[in-house]
Every structure is written in structure tokens, then in C-alpha cells.
Amino acid sequence: MKKANLLPFLFAAITLLYSSAFAGDKENAIQYFKAGQLEKAFPLMKKAAMTGDAESQEILGGMYLEGLGTKKDLLEASKWFKKAAEQGLPESQYNTGTFYEDGTGFTKDAVEACRWYSLAAKQNDPHAQFKMGWCYLKGIGVRKNPEEAFKWYLKSAEQNTKEAFFNVGYMYDFGVGTKTDGQQAEKWYQKAIVNGSYDACYQLGYMYIYGKNIRKQPDKGIELIRIAADNGVAKAQGALGYEYERGLYLEKDIVKAKSWYEKAAAQGNEQAKERLVNLK
């Protein structure tokens, strides 16, 4: 996902304006930007970018990306982000990586994408750190390395990247790239759940039902599984069907079991399909 969060750079530039004698096209562009006069800001920002000012190049890339003060133009966005990236701005390095990953503006190149993500990640960009976790986990653009994947996902999660919470929890849960740790898995799954991850509801629910590396809490587990199932997680639908079938933590109800198995099977869940066939 490309991002163009222009505000940090605008605020940084505005601070610079008030703390130095800096003036010119960039100053005027920022004043127009603050006033919401984007059509007037755009040509001045472009003029400033053409002088080689990295922040102006980054902001201009964002304006092309989002269509602010000009027509949306991904080719121009990729060009200006790369110019800023080559001057070391981490968000532009991240955005350049996404353009190489998608093949927008440049020939699609996973190795080059990961190179730019790596540069941004080393400058502590949390989105780039998340991408490096993905690159190392899947072996895309780099050699597969679960330990490196875990390291980068954790760095990203510790900077509050919501998408990373589930990944870190899952890796602690299953011992991928790190030692299995039920308490850490629970902690990160809970963070993911607070941020709307129904997959995390299923995984933590499963841990609670079976006491997988943490204290068994079946009632809490059933509650989480149900939330995930109600929100379309196929594994959770199959798991809820199984709980109704076996009648251990829920009152046995074959009709409800069949209904949940059917929902999961309709999404391609093979285990649910098998249980439907064997349901009595």
C-alpha cells in the first residue's frame, strides 16, 4: 500500500520557515497548502522540487499520488518519490519500494523493492519494517529467513503498526522465527483484536479452548471463536461447528454444527467439508 502522509513534511518545512531566513517558492507553496489553495501550491512546490530540495520532491510526489492540486499521476509520483528517496528520505524510500513491488512507474522488481524497503526500514520507518518482515517471511526479493522476518515484524509492531500485531502474535504462537511463547502470543493477539483482527480472535480463541501454551479458558475461547465466526473467518466457523458437534463447552446441537460447517465449507474449508460428510 502506498502512502502519502504529507503533514509531517509540511510541519517540518513550516518549522524551518519560522526558525531560519529560508524563503521562496517552497515557503509560498506551503502557505497556499495551509490555506487549502492546492492549485496555487502545486506549481510552486514543483518549482522548488526542481531545484533539488528533497522535502519538496517528497511532497510533490504525494501531491501527484493523491491528485492534490493537480491530476493524479502515478508515473510522476514515482519519479519524484525516487528523487527524494535517492536523497535519503525514508518515507520516499518506502514509497519507491511499493512502486517497484507493484510495477508502477518502474519495471516490476521484487529485489529492487526490498532494497528500498530495507533502506527505509533501517531508518526506522515502521511501514517499511513491516514490508521487510513480509519479504523475509515469503522469500520475496530476498532469501527466506523467518528469524529476520520476525525481527522486522516486531520492530514494526513496537511502533504501533496495526497490521504487524497479528503477525507477531502468530509467530510467537507457532514458533516461527522465534521461540514459542504463549504469553507473548496472547499479548500481541489481544492488540490485534483491539484493532479489529478477527483472525486474531480465532487464533487466541483456539489457544484458550485448548490451553495452548497458556492457561485454559474455554468460555473465553468460545466467545472469541464466535466473534470470528460471525465475521466470516472460515476456520472459526468450522471450529464453532465442531464445538456444537462434540458438546463439550457448548450444548450439543447437530443442527447448529451442520449450519456452521456449511458456512465454513462454502468458503473452501476442507476440514469443515470432511466433518459435514461424517456428521451424525
Section 125-142 average pLDDT: 97
User: With 60 as the cut, is the pLDDT of residue 5 above it?
Assistant: no
pLDDT tier for residue 2 given thresholds of 50, 70 and 90: low
**Which residue blocks in 162-253 are alpha helix, DSSP H?**
162-174, 182-194, 198-210, 218-230, 234-246
User: With 80 as the cut, is the pLDDT of residue 12 above it?
Assistant: no
Question: Given this model, what pLDDT does residue 24 score?
Answer: 85
pLDDT digits (tens, 9 = 90+) for 153-165: 999 999 999 999 9
Q: Which residue has the higher pLDDT, 12 or 55?
A: 55
Question: Given this model, what pLDDT does residue 21 score?
Answer: 38
User: With 50 as the cut, is the pLDDT of residue 22 above it?
Assistant: no
- Asked if 208 contacts 188 with a C-beta cutoff of 8 angstroms, the reply is no
**Grid cell listed for 113:** 523493492
CB neighbour class for 273 (10 Å; exposed up to 12, middle 13-18, buried from 19): middle
pLDDT digits (tens, 9 = 90+) for 55-99: 999 999 999 999 999 999 999 999 999 999 999 999 999 999 999
d(C-alpha 177, C-alpha 103), whole Å: 30
Contacts of 220 (CB under 8 A, 6+ apart): 205, 208
Question: Given this model, what pLDDT does residue 236 score?
Answer: 99
CA distances from 71 to 4, 60, 77, 188 (A): 15, 12, 11, 41
User: With 50 as the cut, is the pLDDT of residue 225 above it?
Assistant: yes
pTM recorded for the entire structure: 0.89
- Secondary structure class of 279 (helix, strand, coil): coil
CATH of 164-231, one of 3.50.50.60, 3.30.1950.10, 1.25.40.10, 1.20.58.740: 1.25.40.10
Note the residue count of the chain.
280
Contacts of 250 (CB under 8 A, 6+ apart): 222, 243, 244
pLDDT digits (tens, 9 = 90+) for 182-195: 999 999 999 999 99
Where does the chain hold its CATH 1.25.40.10 domain(s)? 164-231
